[in-house]
Amino acid sequence: QWLSALCDMRFGGILADEMGLGKSVQLISLLLARRGSGPTLVVCPASLVYNWQAELEKFAPQLDVAVVAGTVPERARVRGESHEVYVTSYDLLRRDVESWARMPLWCEVLDEAQYIKNHETLAARAVKALDAQHRFALTGTPIENRLSELWSIFDFLMPGLLGSYDRFRERYEAPISEGDDEVAERLREAVGPFVLRRLKAD
């Protein structure tokens, strides 16, 4: 319901439940509920590409799913076919970004979204270059070390929401790193509606 509500309002969001609480299943349920809207691309670490294929086949066997991996011609062939869900890795997306950028997507999903925590990397630039109506991020660790990681994910989800990185650093990151609780609360209020985090303890 939360993901669907964000879709209806044209917002993106971070599903930040702790590991093991079923983030992928929740996302798959959204794809089933919105079936017929257009193609979705799931981007994940290479080690999880076939896990995603297996999860989709298990929980949503009616969806037409294709893994985009292998050689350059193999990847081009699969991209040229019509599928409901495509699954590829961050590394292969980075290599194929020009082709992906020409394909309008209904939804782009990043799994283990901390992979784009450094906004200057080619992987971060690649995921942001695609033409997607809706964008979601799945990560059990939305911030591991620095607030810039959160900014980078939001720059993917809804560019401009937190301003440029320089503005974000000046407005939020620097004061919070110096212990300004009031600014920290202001940032929580700004991003809170777009982050759903549940803990195993709860």
* Distance from C-alpha of 163 to C-alpha of 103, rounded to nearest angstrom: 27
Residue 164 is encoded by which pair of tokens?
């440029």
Give tens-digit pLDDT for 180-198.
Answer: 999 999 999 999 999 998 8
Q: What is the pLDDT of residue 145?
A: 66
Nearest of 157, 152, 186, 193 to residue 172 by alpha carbon? 186
Mean pLDDT score across all residues of the chain: 94
Span 51-95, pLDDT tens digits: 999 999 999 999 999 999 999 999 999 999 999 999 999 999 999
Average pLDDT (44-53) is: 96
Residue 167 structure tokens: 């503005």
Q: What is the DSSP letter of 17?
A: P
Query: Residues, the chain, total?
Result: 202
State yes or no: pLDDT of 35 exceeds 80.
yes
**Residue 19 confidence class, pLDDT cut points 50, 70, 90:** confident
| 202 — pLDDT class (breaks 50, 70, 90) | confident
115-129: average pLDDT: 91
What average pLDDT does range 119-147 have in this prediction? 88
Q: Comparing 11-15, 17-21, 92-96, which segment has the lowest mean pLDDT?
A: 17-21
Collapsed DSSP state (helix, strand, coil) of residue 6: helix
pLDDT of residue 144: 63
Which of the residue ranges 92-96, 112-116, 176-180, 197-201 has the most confident prediction, judged by mean pLDDT?
A: 92-96
SS3 of 135-182? EEEECCCCCCCCHHHHHHHHHHHCCCCCCCHHHHHHHHHHHHHCCCHH
Once rounded to an integer, what is the mean pLDDT over residues 26-35? 96
pLDDT at 142: 67
Give yes or no for a contact between 157 and 195, defined as CB atoms under 8 angstroms apart: no
The SS3 of residue 193 is helix
Q: Can you tell me whether residue 109 is helix, strand or coil?
A: strand
